[in-house]
Structures are given as C-alpha cells and as structure tokens.
A and B are shown apart, each in its own frame.
Chain A
Amino acid sequence: DAKTTQPPSMDCAEGRAANLPCNHSTISGNEYVYWYRQIHSQGPQYIIHGLKNNETNEMASLIITEDRKSSTLILPHATLRDTAVYYCIRKDYGQNFVFGPGTRLSVLP
C-alpha cells in the first residue's frame, strides 16, 4: 500500500512549470515525503525529499502544505526529457520505499 494518492497522468507544455500533486492525508509526524521518477523503463531516479519545509534542489522544488496532508513537486521549466512516471512516497524511520502507480507526466512540444 503506497499510502499516497496521485493523478494517473498529466500533460505539460515544454518550457512551462510542471506541478505534480500528491495527497498523503494520513501522513504521520515522522514520515518524510520523497519523490522519484522513472523515465521509460530505466531505474527510478531520486529527485527530492522533505519533512515540513519547502525544499529546492537543482532538479525540482517540493512544496509541502502546512498540515502536511499534501505536497506538490514543481519542475520549473519542463523539457521533453522530463517525460516520466513520477512517484510520491512517504517513508518513515525503519521503512523501505513503497512505490505506487505514480503520475505519468507527458511534456508536450
């Protein structure tokens, strides 16, 4: 049970920001939110993770709501190479990663 809810698919125009939502309404205080992506049939690729505060790295930004019940992954300027399945995963101390079906993001030219 992945315990997160994501839309099955989304489209985004190339060069625009892609905003991928994730619902984790039952998240506990110790659980982090992780984002991975899988391009075609390659191995999953780590993107970013956070607990409470918003996070940014060279790949993306992660916005977590104040009540921590949902989050949004932002790819600021999506390119065709960002077309992938994006996984939102909540993970606590002692747990392994549990992948759900994710969101299939299609970046359109």
Chain B
Amino acid sequence: EPEVTQTPSHQVTQMGQEVILHCVPISNHLYFYWYRQILGQKVEFLVSFYNNEISEKSEIFDDQFSVERPDGSNFTLKIRSTKLEDSAMYFCASSDRGTGRTTYEQYFGPGTRLTVT
C-alpha cells in the first residue's frame, strides 16, 4: 500500500540554525500539507500546497517557514532560523483531491521529531 514517507525521523539542531524536513508524498497525489504537533498538544495545520504554490497557510506559518517541491517526488519544509518553540513533531500529508472537493482523505507520514536546543 502506498504511503507517505518522511526523513529524518529525528532531527536535532541548535537554535538559530536552518533545518529542512523532507517528505515523499504518495506518487499520484497532487495536494500536500504540513502539520505540527508540539508534545502533548493538538495537531496543528501549517500549510497546504498545490500546483507549485501555497494554497493556504496558518498563522503559525510565518516568514521563517517555507515549502518547496524541488522535484517530482519530494516536498520539503524549511525553517530558516529555528527557535526553541519550534521543537515538535512535523507531519507531512498528501491527498489526491483538495479543499475544492467536498470529501477527500489526507494520508499522513510518520513524522519528523524536531528538537531545537
């Protein structure tokens, strides 16, 4: 069964450093998403991406964040200058349809645990 994959599973970085989190969505999916979950808290939407541009972003997704689909398979989340409060699990998701359709399912990857020290 096709699945979303994410690398690395755990990333440790120092405050102020740039990190790039990698995702390989399901191959025939066209819509891509990033979510984050701070330990013990809710899963929070960050951004959705379709047709090489951001469709929607939350208040969390400020200028420190960016997303990119550098080739036909990868989807990345970059945090330019990490802060302690960026420590969280980051989940990538993909779907074959987007918010323009009434129903669709998002399939999530296993997540990357980001620890900022």
Q: Mark B42-54, 1 if CB is under 8 A from A, else 0.
A: 1111001000000
Are the CB atoms of B99 and A98 closer together than 8 Å? no
Known: A43-B4, A43-B93, A94-B100. A101 touches B42 (CB 8 A): yes
Range of interface residues on chain B? Answer: 20 to 34
Option from B56, B105, B108 in Cβ contact (under 8 Å) with A96: B56
Q: Mark B89-110, 1 if CB is under 8 A from A, else 0.
A: 1010100000111110111111
Q: How many residue pairs bridge A and B at CB < 8 Å?
A: 49
Nearest-neighbor residue (CB-CB) of A45 within chain B: B108
Are the CB atoms of A43 and B111 closer together than 8 Å? yes
Taken together as a complex, chains A and B put the C-alpha atoms of A42 and B106 apart, in Å, by 14
Q: Mark B21-39, 1 if CB is under 8 A from A, else 0.
A: 0000000000001000100
